[in-house]
Structure 1
Amino acid sequence: MSTAAVISRSEEAKAGEEACGRPVALPSLTGLRWTAALMVFLYHVYVVEYFGGRAQGLVAAAFGVGNTGVSFFFVLSGFVLAWSTAQAPTGRGIVRFWRRRFARVYPLHLVTAVAALVLVWLLGAGEKPAAGPVAANLGLVQAWVPQVPYFQGLNPVSWSLAAEAFFYVSFPFLVWPLRRLGWRGSAVVAALSLAAVVAIPTWAELAHHSDGQIWADNFFPLYRLPEFVLGIALAELVRAGRWRGPGLTVSLALTMGGYFLSQQADYAYRAAACTVVGYAALIAAAAQADLRGEPSPWRGRLSVRLGEVSFAFYMVHILVIRTGESLFGGHPKLDLWGGGLLVLAAAFSVSLALAWALYAWVEVPGRRLLLRSRRGGTPSVS
């Protein structure tokens, strides 16, 4: 048994109590955000087939289910929101919470949506959207419409922001009763959430839904809510010093096992069901490692810095890939050493450079502008 496993309950509870008064920073969770964003990027590299032949087979084996990084984001989002919220928002606090969340995501969403429109009209990068999908996208409700031009319109990855917007609206009404229930209630909710993540694809299988319908259902915000609720419940267990899950090493093994199991599972289970246990354990274990001061590969300065720009990287990378397709043709199927790695390196480098610029010139200034106090002229909260 590791040293971490024998830390007393009182010490864990103390860490949770300190977090209740002033949330303790958890830098490893920021670093993990980058890992998840990179997974989604590499999944799209697989989809657009930069590589051909045996190289594409290797990419498929490694990153064919990289889209599960979105599930990781949903669990992580619930955890981080619950951890950083010392008191459940009520009354005007709910409006302030929504304002902070809007300021966090909308400036970057708006800029990348406009960029997507420009790329469509100037380069033909993607299909020209109708007014309805554009309006739904800008209103962050596109994932509620079960039509591909809506939930995959403009910047395709922005569908997850529509799900997040729903989660943000729901959060104050989820965290308040959960905290009233205490840690035992959180444990029950976590178990029920895990069961729901598995039950939803099981229902789709029993109902004989086609793979196409299952694929479309994965974008529906209500279906992804259990992953977000699971994150909230995990944070409450860690806060109360009652999390008894595995440490980082075992959690990482569970994550990798679930990840590669997804490739062998029926299609319905690939989006979240196989990986959710590992992702949940890894998030909680990383948080515990930060609280205890234990080593973590995601706490380094570079990892944290990359985590800070991960949202911008996630939002811009598919636009870079689409631009490349429009200029040089789609699905090039290049040899590994005959251009495939060069194209991959170019797409990654351009995406990361743009992400850094968007973080510095759009995401941070936009958030400060939207949170500027009407009276004092300074940002109210970050």
Structure 2
Amino acid sequence: MSSPKERMPRVESLTGLRWFAAFAVFLFHANQIIKLPTVNDIRLGDFFRFGDAGVTFFYVLSGFVLTWSFSPSVSTGTFYWRRFARVWPALAVSTVIAWVAFDQVWHDSWKRTLLSLSLTESWFPPAAHLVANPVAWSVSCEAFFYLLFPFIIRPLLRLRLPALAIIAAAGMAIEWAYWFFVQDFIDPKQYWIQLSWFIRFPPVRFIEFLLGMIAAAALLRGWRPRINLWLALATVPASVLLLWWGARQGWWAAHWSQQGLIPACVLVVLAAALRDVSGRPSFLRSKPLVSLGAWSYAFYLVHLSVIYWLMGTVKTGPASWMNLKVLLVWTVLGIALAWACYRWVEHPVERFLRNLYPRRVPPAPQGPQAPLAPHEAPTVVLQRDAVLTGRGVTSHDIDPARTGSPERASRYPDHGHGLPGITTPDR
């Protein structure tokens, strides 16, 4: 790894990127209702359907940040409780909002609601109609990733760069091969089967989370590739154009948005993190984007409820550029509702729940002690402790013997990313 005395700056660009990922998912769902015009035989809405790759980006980002902020001093139980405190309050309140927005009744929605709130929804076939909060399935996938994380992180951080590269390549090959299997052996009309066994299947989607973990582990190993942020960002629209054109030519299926954009998502996360590590300026760290990124988890959870709630009150009309005004109205109201959920539920309830499971501080030794023999003297090794704050990710050099001290606990709160549970509270 790189020198333990090297201080790494806060990686706030990742917080700003979260907003674009959440907004991309919003455009994906809005495209199913809003009609945009066709220009030169190109339906502009075809590009909005690639917005579902925002979930892929969230998974990659979540794996990256949790690895970057990993601290051996945090027990597995504490980690699980903090993840629950991070993702569940917003999930619960968004479920209530979805019940109102979709005008649900108990006999239609009770099963999906219980599965959603128990973070197990993705393990069961989806209903043929939308009930509970339709976008909450991704949180149950994220819960599965959290379950595996404590058992994978330590072995992963011990691997060298060649081994990390091999695992990343194998993971991509497995996910793409599995998707080809789904396309070749399942009737394309059976969309709900595809939804159950690929799009929402946690073991397959875990590969995206693992790629984020590998990217962070490589950087912690001292890997510093020269990746220009703007070129990395440009790979996203370039990949969209390639996937769109290939689908029109019949080279691959039209639903390759999430899987085809995985390399671009990893590249953008790496480029943004490297830019912050180098100390260079980045528009992604601007205050408005950081704030929007802090609200992005709530926005993701409520945006579809806002769209469906306003479907009957806002007339979209025929295909027209004027429908962009409808998108603007939905966006503004979605942001306002997300801010309210974050301000009054997500953030304060998380703090309350986290305080119920405080980090245990070992008691200080009492009274005089006999001096240790030379061979018993403890060896103090400084190591980097990456800490995720509400304003991004930062890293500090610490003495492991003091990781549990009250002074450190107050100075360096250990927050994590969730997604789609993928957001971090703004401290």
Shift of 1:64: 1.9
Structure 1 Cα separation of the partners of residues 27 and 259 of structure 2: 20
Question: Which of 252, 258, 283 in structure 2 is aligned with 1:272?
Answer: 258
> How do residues 303-342 of structure 1 correspond to structure 2 at under 5 angstroms?
303-328=289-314, 332-333=317-318, 335-337=320-322, 340-342=323-325
Amino acid at match of 2:38: R
Verify the 8 A CA contact 1:143 1:162 in the aligned structure 2: yes
Flag the structure with higher strand content: 2
Verify the 8 A CA contact 1:31 1:298 in the aligned structure 2: yes
Structure 1 Cα separation of the partners of residues 12 and 231 of structure 2: 20
Question: Which of 23, 27, 44 in structure 2 is aligned with 1:42?
Answer: 27
Larger radius of gyration: 2
Structure 1 Cα separation of the partners of residues 126 and 300 of structure 2: 23
Residue 301 to residue 53, structure 1, CA distance change in 2 (3 Å): closer
Match of 1:104 in 2: 86
**Of the two structures, which has the highest relative contact order with CA contacts closer than 8 Å and spacing of 6 or more?**
2
Match of 2:268 in 1: 282
Shift of 1:209: 4.4
Unaligned runs of 5+ in 1: 1-11
Structure 2 Cα separation of the partners of residues 127 and 346 of structure 1: 30
Match of 2:52 in 1: 67
1:222-261: CA deviation from partner (whole Å, max 9, x where unpaired): 1201000000000000111214363213322222222222
Structure 1 Cα separation of the partners of residues 223 and 358 of structure 2: 42
Check if 1:204 corresponds to 2:185: no
Verify the 8 A CA contact 1:103 1:366 in the aligned structure 2: yes
Question: Which of 208, 216, 219 in structure 2 is aligned with 1:235?
Answer: 216
Secondary structure, aligned partner of 1:67: helix
Residue 210 to residue 352, structure 1, CA distance change in 2 (3 Å): same
Amino acid at match of 1:139: S
Shift of 1:158: 0.7
Shift of 1:58: 4.8
Shift of 1:128: 6.7
Match of 1:220 in 2: 201
Secondary structure, aligned partner of 1:272: helix
Verify the 8 A CA contact 1:17 1:239 in the aligned structure 2: no
Structure 1 Cα separation of the partners of residues 155 and 27 of structure 2: 39
Check if 1:160 corresponds to 2:138: yes
Match of 1:253 in 2: 234
Structure 1 Cα separation of the partners of residues 38 and 357 of structure 2: 59
Check if 1:357 corresponds to 2:343: no
Unaligned runs of 5+ in 2: 360-408, 416-427
For normalisation by structure 2, the TM-score amounts to 0.76
Shift of 1:374: 6.2
1:337-356: CA deviation from partner (whole Å, max 9, x where unpaired): 3xx13321211110011111
Amino acid at match of 1:300: S
Residue 374 to residue 97, structure 1, CA distance change in 2 (3 Å): closer
Structure 2 Cα separation of the partners of residues 143 and 159 of structure 1: 5
Verify the 8 A CA contact 2:109 2:131 in the aligned structure 1: no
Report the number of matched residues: 355
1:59-88: CA deviation from partner (whole Å, max 9, x where unpaired): 414312111111011101100110011338
| Identity fraction in percent | 33
Residue 234 to residue 320, structure 1, CA distance change in 2 (3 Å): same
Residue 200 to residue 246, structure 1, CA distance change in 2 (3 Å): farther
Verify the 8 A CA contact 2:9 2:279 in the aligned structure 1: no
Question: Which of 112, 116, 119 in structure 2 is aligned with 1:140?
Answer: 119
Verify the 8 A CA contact 1:68 1:270 in the aligned structure 2: no
Structure 1 Cα separation of the partners of residues 174 and 73 of structure 2: 24
Structure 2 Cα separation of the partners of residues 229 and 346 of structure 1: 37
Secondary structure, aligned partner of 1:352: helix
Structure 1 Cα separation of the partners of residues 29 and 347 of structure 2: 27
Residue 292 to residue 112, structure 1, CA distance change in 2 (3 Å): same
Question: Which of 65, 73, 83 in structure 2 is aligned with 1:80?
Answer: 65
Flag the structure with higher helix content: 1
Amino acid at match of 1:43: F
Structure 1 Cα separation of the partners of residues 201 and 304 of structure 2: 20
Amino acid at match of 2:304: I
Secondary structure, aligned partner of 1:86: coil
Greater shift after overlay, 243-252 or 307-316?
Answer: 243-252
Check if 1:170 corresponds to 2:148: yes
Match of 2:351 in 1: 368
Shift of 1:155: 1.2
